[in-house]
Each structure stands twice: as C-alpha cells, then as structure tokens.
Amino acid sequence: MIATEDRLIAALDFPTAPQARELVVRLGGTVQFYKIGLELLMAPGFFDLFDWLKSEQKKVFVDLKFFDIPETVARAVRNLAERGADFCTVHGNQSIMEAAAAAKAGDLKVLAVTALTSLDQGDIEDLGFQCSIADLVLSRARRALAAGCDGVVSSGLEVERLRAEAPHELVCVTPGIRPVENRVEADQKRIMTPAAAIAAGADHLVIGRPIRDAADPCAAAAAIQAEIAAAFAARDTASR
C-alpha cells in the first residue's frame, strides 16, 4: 500500500541546493516525496540536501540513471541504499539492471528507465530502434522485471499496457505530468494530466515545473494532491 500523499514526487530541478531547500520549506507538509537528479549533483551540497530531506522525514528519489559496468553500478546502488534513498534509477542492459537489483537493500527500490518523455517516435528511430515507443517500453519493462528491478519510469501513455502485463508487480513512476491538457513543452513530448496518468495505472507522478514555477507552489502542489486523490478514488470505484 502506498500512502496517497506519497503518490506525488516533486522534482527539485534547481541549479543550487539552497534553492531546492527553500522550495521544500515552502511546501511544508504538502509534499512528502522529492526527486533530486543530475543538475543538483553538479552543484555543491547534493548529499547535504539528501541528508537534510531524510532528517525532515521526506522520501527521496535519486534520479541519476546509472549506466556503467555492472560492478560500478552495484556499488553506487549499495551506497545509496546505505544512505537511506527510497528510489533510484538505472539505465542499461540486462547485466547492469541485474547488478543494480542485486545490490539494493532496506527500503530502496530500483527503477529501470524505459524511454524518456522527451523522446517521440522520430527520436527513437534516430537512436536506432526499429519499433514503436510502446513496444520498446514494454520490452524494457519485461526485462527489468526479469532482472529483479522493482519498477520502471515510463510515460503515462504506456502505463496502461504495462499494467495489462504486470498488474501488481511493477512500480510505475510517471514523469511528463502536466495539470493542464495540451500544454506544449519544448523538451516534453509525451505528456499527460495527473488524473489521466492515475487512471492509466501510474503509482507515482513526478512533477517539477508546474509546482516550482507556480505563483503559489504550495497551492499548486495541494491542487495536484487533490486531483491525485480524486483519481485514485475513481479508479478504486471502477475496479469494484
């Protein structure tokens, strides 16, 4: 069981740790789960921020998309597990995913990246894949499950198909969430509203700019939390 308030993962996409911390303080109890990634890793204070978030009883998703030789990935995952991370991401072939899954401990869940929400069909073909995005995501999800990963990061557009294959086994974390439909983002091509993603079967929604850039981030986060709760209530009713 996942607490409703943990379904929203706010992305701390900031150039500095103090800016990220300021938003967390401002959001207070509205958000319980945060994602930190590459941008903050390249700034001073990444792990100070991580440790502070844990001291504030927040859950932390470390999104670094580990891609290296299996032993190096395993050591990185092991270090994060010892530090108390809740989620981390891995990107690679079967041996890399297997190494990451074998190294997890405690509450850490390893998520395999399927296809970035910034990619469309043309981008996938440019990368050398001769299949649809949906088929690629499903293939990678199957391999992640076989490797022992806990879940995947996937666009909401593919989640319904994933759920048909793995109704309960996979944790589905969905980025590319925008509260307003048909909102065009230069670097986000496969997007979905919170309610639509939950209806499709997503477990967690990663949301950054709609909260970070809002005139009132706390009100924006609260509205998203309300939309998520309503969507889960509707989903539960439909499944009865």
Residue numbers annotated as active site: 65
Kindly report the number of other CB atoms within 10 A of residue 219's CB atom: 12
The full DSSP string for 124-149 is HHHTT--S-HHHHHHHHHHHHHHHT-
**Measured between alpha carbons, how far is 192 from 22 in angstroms, rounded to an integer?**
28
**Measured between alpha carbons, how far is 119 from 97 in angstroms, rounded to an integer?**
22
**Measured between alpha carbons, how far is 214 from 205 in angstroms, rounded to an integer?**
17
Q: Is 204 helix (H, G, I), strand (E, B) or coil?
A: strand
* Residue 15: both structure tokens together: 């150039």
Determine the longest span between alpha carbons in the chain, in angstroms: 50
**Measured between alpha carbons, how far is 101 from 111 in angstroms, rounded to an integer?**
9
Bridge partner list, 111: 89, 151
Q: Is 92 helix (H, G, I), strand (E, B) or coil?
A: coil
Query: Could you give the angle at which helices 94-103 and 70-83 cross, rounded to 10 degrees?
Result: 30
**Measured between alpha carbons, how far is 151 from 9 in angstroms, rounded to an integer?**
15
